[in-house]
Amino acid sequence: MAVSSTIEYCSERDLKDIYPGLSGFDTKIRVYNWQTTGTSNLYLARNSGLITQLFSDGEDLGDAEANSGVVNANGEWYYDSDLDTVYYFDSATAPNDRVMESGEDWATLKSRQMRNASRYLESKIDGRLSREIWKDREGEYPYIIKRTTALIAVTFLVRADDPANPVADAFMEEADSNIEQLNSGAIQLPNSVTYDSSKGVIRDVTYTSGSIRPVKTRGRYSGTFDLLKIKIGTGGVLGTATYNVYAKDSTKLKNDQVVTEEVITGDYQSVAGGLQIRFAGSTDSSVATADNEWEIELYGSGEQVSNTGLGAIRMSRGGYGSVWR
């Protein structure tokens, strides 16, 4: 993982799902006591504190000018760090009659804290897990990663405005619990190889509700990785319906037909690589529907387990000292 990684494991939508009232913590600070200067319509406020962005009645005034000498059009501003003074030009309304605020663009602030939260999570994840989280086949990060990152980001945003806020403590408590369970193996990521990964995960591709379907696997897959395609050929009841299985070949997944029109019996039946599958319906009269399709994601029984839930500690033998009286 690059130190300068810009990956964000959560989105603004995830932050909103965690805390709908988050927008009340945008950290903007009012700037008061504006004074006139020797230049018409140019105002200043001393002892303002660092200002990286200035807002007038909620409007982002954009980037600061190069110096106070070129602040000469409505909405232009400049912060002098040596004098700790901000300058603002307004020919329409005096700034004391407006809501003048310093702060950071809310979207920019949220993005930075989501990025900070992502780096924080990576630093807390155990070495047995990937330090940079991978997306799944749908291009999404695992939900537990998105939620945990969002919890951390919301905590950062709330504490920046109110360090003692008890809501932030509750969010961080849940995030810490999630991290602990990820590290212990109690929570597994979708791309983790577990002890039962060789038994496969069955997913619906096309399924007609109430039809006969694969319900359980048996055995352990002897290869390295595969994504099997299971498809109903002939529809009908047990003893009549058939299924087909497609495995990987040298060019792509689901391309080599390894089982052809095998009659579905309701008992365990072979699919590929030493794995068996059992079909069943919701009732004895259930039927298989032609062209219903599933996939089974498999990792070989010999593949290294990502997180066993077991750790190790270093121990050494020590001697007992003698006490002489």
Mean pLDDT of 182-210: 81
> What Å distances lie between residue 250 and 133, 247, 253, CA to CA?
28, 10, 8
Using 50, 70 and 90 to split pLDDT, how confident is the model at 35?
very high
Q: Are 93 and 45 in contact (CB under 8 A)?
A: no
Lowest-confidence region among 17-26, 72-81, 87-96, 237-246: 17-26
* The predicted structure's pLDDT at residue 130: 58
* The predicted structure's pLDDT at residue 128: 61
- Average model confidence (pLDDT) for the chain? 88
Report the C-alpha gap between 51 and 102 in whole angstroms: 6
Judged against a pLDDT cut of 80, whether residue 300 lies above it is answered with yes
* The predicted structure's pLDDT at residue 214: 96
Give me the residue spans of the domains in the chain.
12-24+106-184, 28-102, 197-299
Using 50, 70 and 90 to split pLDDT, how confident is the model at 197?
confident
The predicted-structure confidence for 105-119, as pLDDT tens digits, reads as follows 888 899 999 999 999
Report the C-alpha gap between 17 and 176 in whole angstroms: 18
321 or 69: which leads in pLDDT: 69
Judged against a pLDDT cut of 90, whether residue 154 lies above it is answered with yes
The predicted-structure confidence for 125-150, as pLDDT tens digits, reads as follows 876 665 567 777 677 889 999 999 99
Q: Closest by alpha carbon to 220, among 246, 194, 245?
A: 194
Mean pLDDT of 198-227: 92
Report the C-alpha gap between 83 and 26 in whole angstroms: 26
The predicted-structure confidence for 38-65, as pLDDT tens digits, reads as follows 999 999 999 999 999 999 998 999 999 9
* The predicted structure's pLDDT at residue 304: 62
Residues 6+ apart with CB under 8 A from 258: 245, 246, 247, 271, 272
Mean pLDDT of 177-204: 81
Mean pLDDT of 91-102: 96
Distance of CA 266 to the CA centre of its chain: 40
* The predicted structure's pLDDT at residue 313: 46
DSSP calls for 192-245: ---TTGGG-EEEEEE--TTS-EEEEEES---SSEEEEEEEE-S-BSTTT-EEEE
Judged against a pLDDT cut of 80, whether residue 86 lies above it is answered with yes
* The predicted structure's pLDDT at residue 201: 86
Judged against a pLDDT cut of 60, whether residue 317 lies above it is answered with no
Which structure tokens are listed for 283? 């009732």
Using 50, 70 and 90 to split pLDDT, how confident is the model at 308?
low
* The predicted structure's pLDDT at residue 161: 87
> What Å distances lie between residue 254 and 131, 137, 275, CA to CA?
31, 15, 16
* The predicted structure's pLDDT at residue 106: 86
* Percent with pLDDT over 90 in the chain: 69
